[in-house]
Amino acid sequence: MTRTLTLTVNRQSHRIAVAPETTLLHVLRNDLALNGPKYGCGLGECGACTVLVDGLAARACVLPVAAVVGHEVTTLEGLATAEGLDPVQVAFIEEQAAQCGYCLNGMIMSVRALLNHDPHPSKQAIRAALEHNLCRCGTHVEILKAAYRAAGHDDEGECV
């Protein structure tokens, strides 16, 4: 049954008529035209759909939209500000951390979520934060380098 829900996405308020069990991913992509988050597996297992809910990483493909009412949702499109790209996005460009690019939304949002509560995480913490995001191209080395760079590990030490 359709209900009218008020969502806060990327600092903007939206009123949407939708069945409350509809996934957040569906609403973001189909109703709000926010295509940063991707459909990968639909099971919350690959991470391609990751968004931030109150700054924490969440999997939009298994989250009912009603669950985020009253919370701040941020998508990849909401990371950049008037001053420019988020430092995590810049780090991913600088490290050339994309092959096909489809997993990148999840990687960037997961790193952003980690940095939100720990601006200088250890390399181990970064690897742990990304462990459940899948990348099929095998771009793991560059993605890790980008995450390390965003977290301020600029040293040339071993990459992994």
Give contact residues for other proteins (rule: CB under 8 A): 29, 33-43, 45-46, 48, 75-77, 80, 84-85, 89-90, 92-94, 96, 98-105, 108, 127, 130-142, 144, 158-160
What is the C-alpha separation between 63 and 22, in angstroms, rounded?
8
CB of 80: closest distance to other proteins in angstroms? Answer: 6
| Single-letter amino acid, residue 54 | D
Strand-pair partners of 81? 84
Measured from the CB atom, is 70 or 118 closer to other proteins? 118
Phi, psi values for residue 143, rounded to 5°: -65, -45
Measured from the CB atom, is 31 or 72 closer to other proteins? 31
CB of 23: closest distance to other proteins in angstroms? Answer: 11
Measured from the CB atom, is 12 or 70 closer to other proteins? 12
CB of 157: closest distance to other proteins in angstroms? Answer: 12
* Cα–Cα distance list, 2 to 22, 55, 82 (Å): 10, 28, 36
DSSP code, position 31:
I
